Amino acid sequence: MFQIDVMSRTPVYEQLVEQIEQLVLIGLLEPEEQLPSVRQLSIELSINPNTIQKAYSELDRRGLLFSVPGKGCFVSKNLENVLSARRDIRLKDLRELVIALKVLGLSKEELLKLVGEAYDTGLT
Amino acid sequence: MFQIDVMSRTPVYEQLVEQIEQLVLIGLLEPEEQLPSVRQLSIELSINPNTIQKAYSELDRRGLLFSVPGKGCFVSKNLENVLSARRDIRLKDLRELVIALKVLGLSKEELLKLVGEAYDTGLT
Amino acid sequence: MFQIDVMSRTPVYEQLVEQIEQLVLIGLLEPEEQLPSVRQLSIELSINPNTIQKAYSELDRRGLLFSVPGKGCFVSKNLENVLSARRDIRLKDLRELVIALKVLGLSKEELLKLVGEAYDTGLT
Amino acid sequence: MFQIDVMSRTPVYEQLVEQIEQLVLIGLLEPEEQLPSVRQLSIELSINPNTIQKAYSELDRRGLLFSVPGKGCFVSKNLENVLSARRDIRLKDLRELVIALKVLGLSKEELLKLVGEAYDTGLT
DNA sequence: GTGGTCTAGACCACA
DNA sequence: GTGGTCTAGACCACT
């Protein structure tokens, strides 16, 4: 279900956070759906339960899921806030990147062409 | 001259590297120009000389400046290779960001509009 | 495991870099293999951890190993690019050396004989 | 007469040493010939007299020239020792380089071919 | 004065 | 435990 690379420089818990986030955002994990338990996932991925717990806590903190003590973790219902927040962050990054490329001498036409291509070819 | 936030999560030396890189790329620091000495800058910014040294070494490695022991540090002359290399990296980042925003539901029209605006308003 | 001469003119961290590089290139350190930790090696060699760190960082930068924070340092997998790059540098050095020896009056026959002998007797 | 690059990483005095050494070894500066005075050369090259002096001292130490107080510096007569000493050093370097290239997977045939080519094309 | 290397000792995030 | 960053203070060669 998840692809974890323990050799990667990005912390394991962060890889998990990002992948779950992706699954939620593209709708593969639906609201109210229950996530695998910490223990089960730790066995599946051969990863320390603490690391799984840390990922879940982070996602809870971000509002993507909520944990019910004794029951498990579930995908949040109202994800609009989360979505827009994440989008705002991305847009801020995008703005910085655009300015950096402008500084590096990229013309507006070239830039728009490349952005359009990236949009069309990505994750069709 | 530089704005360093010692409390930031990004290392101090990296902040310095990025800021100097910007100054060089936008031309505020001209080729052959001498940079402030390690000691002087360490006093100005209240930062340990070793940290400044680390930043300068990194910039030397990246080809943005070259240091001459006993003389000082100077901005590089031929920056075209560096410029194109940096641009390639930025473009790769841009592509990823565009795809992420697509996943988050941003339409192509909105995206292109925002990119255009960012380009026009940035560092006029 | 390593032979460090603290009195040498070549920096300690550079000696380390070269020796590890050799071990990796001749295959004594295999891909994915974990290197001794910064602290352990610093104790073994009676060298400051920072110096070991500097050597490991340099090797990371060169692509010979990769370090994973909290886990350790490991020999890289795909070393072919590194190998060819290093070979290009060596060949450039070789050319300069050959010309220097020509200037010093060495005949082509003598030179080729010596090169052949060196090749046969080295690291059989 | 000399080409000094003050921006170079190799110390100025060392550049001078190497260039004079080359001139002597290839015979452009003949035995007993007088070298330019420290003051004259310092003016010609716009370099601190101390630096010139340091270069001359080094060459004296190496036996390539000898200085007569009150008269000046002269190219040595018996350069055979110097020549053979330098050649020994170069040959030692050559041996190391050959072994390094062997480690990097270069075949003997390729190596000999490259050495021959370098010899033929260099400083004809 | 300059850059470069090194030590000693500290703190952090991550596993 | 691991790697990574930072400080304080020292020494070196070179100009």
CA of D67 and C1' of E5: distance in angstroms? 35
Q: What is the pLDDT of residue C103?
A: 82
Q: What is the pLDDT of residue D45?
A: 87
B109 burial (CB, 10 Å; 0-12 / 13-18 / 19+) is: exposed
Q: Give mean pLDDT, residues B22-43.
A: 93
| Amino acid identity for residue B56 in this structure | Y
Q: Which two tokens stand for residue B38?
A: 């390690």
Q: Which two tokens stand for residue C64?
A: 């010979």
Inter-residue contact A65 to B89 (CB < 8 Å):
no
pLDDT digits (tens, 9 = 90+) for C53-111: 999 999 999 999 999 988 999 999 888 888 888 889 899 999 988 998 888 888 999 99
**Number of inter-chain CB pairs under 8 A, C vs D:** 96
Tell me the chain D residues in contact with residue C102 when contact means C-beta distances shorter than 8 Å: 119, 122-123
User: Given its phi and psi angles, is residue C70 left (phi above 0), alpha (psi -120 to 50 degrees) or beta?
Assistant: left
Comparing alpha-carbon positions, the chain A residue that sits nearest to C77 is A7
Query: Is residue A95 less than 8 Å (CB to CB) from chain B?
Result: yes
Q: Give mean pLDDT, residues D30-47.
A: 88
Judged against a pLDDT cut of 90, whether residue D58 lies above it is answered with: no
Q: Give mean pLDDT, residues D7-18.
A: 86
Residue C31: pLDDT band with limits 50, 70, 90: very high
Q: Which residues 72-91 of chain C have a CB under 7 Å from nucleic chain E?
A: none
Residue D124: pLDDT band with limits 50, 70, 90: low
pLDDT digits (tens, 9 = 90+) for A80-124: 887 888 888 889 999 989 998 998 889 999 999 999 999 999 766
Q: Specify the higher pLDDT residue, B29 or A78.
A: B29
Q: What is the pLDDT of residue A87?
A: 85
- Taking CB atoms and an 8 Å limit, are A116 and B95 in contact across chains? no
B22 phi and psi angles, rounded to 5 deg: -60, -50
Q: Is B52 (CB) below 7 Å from strand E?
A: no
> Tokens 């690291």 — which residue?
C123
Query: Is residue C89 less than 8 Å (CB to CB) from chain D?
Result: no
Judged against a pLDDT cut of 90, whether residue A7 lies above it is answered with: no
Tell me the chain C residues in contact with residue D106 when contact means C-beta distances shorter than 8 Å: 87
pLDDT digits (tens, 9 = 90+) for D66-111: 888 888 889 988 878 877 888 888 898 899 899 989 988 899 999 9
CA of B99 and C1' of E4: distance in angstroms? 44
Task: Name the nearest CA neighbour of D66 among D29, D35, D23, D26.
Answer: D35
CA of C53 and C1' of E7: distance in angstroms? 13
Query: Is residue C9 less than 8 Å (CB to CB) from chain A?
Result: no
Query: Is residue D28 less than 8 Å (CB to CB) from chain C?
Result: no
Query: Is residue C85 less than 8 Å (CB to CB) from chain D?
Result: no
Residue B48 CA to residue B42 CA, distance in Å, equals 6
Please name the residues in contact with C53: beta carbons below 8 A apart, sequence gap of 6 or more. Answer: C38
Q: Is A54 (CB) below 7 Å from strand E?
A: yes
Full DSSP string of D97-121: HHHHHHHTT--HHHHHHHHHHHHHH
Residue range D12-75, CATH number: 1.10.10.10
Query: Is residue C105 less than 8 Å (CB to CB) from chain A?
Result: no
Q: Is B22 (CB) below 7 Å from strand E?
A: no
Q: What is the pLDDT of residue A124?
A: 61
pLDDT digits (tens, 9 = 90+) for A11-70: 889 999 989 988 887 788 888 899 999 988 888 888 888 889 999 998 998 888 988 888
Q: What is the pLDDT of residue C46?
A: 94
Q: Give mean pLDDT, residues C43-58.
A: 95
Judged against a pLDDT cut of 70, whether residue B124 lies above it is answered with: no
Tell me the chain A residues in contact with residue C69 when contact means C-beta distances shorter than 8 Å: 9, 11
> Tokens 């190998």 — which residue?
C83
D41 burial (CB, 10 Å; 0-12 / 13-18 / 19+) is: buried
Inter-residue contact D4 to D16 (CB < 8 Å):
yes
Do C and D touch (≥3 CB pairs < 8 Å)?
A: yes
Name the residue ranges covered by the structural domains of chain C. Answer: 12-75, 80-121
Tell me the chain A residues in contact with residue C66 when contact means C-beta distances shorter than 8 Å: 7, 9
Average pLDDT, chain D: 87
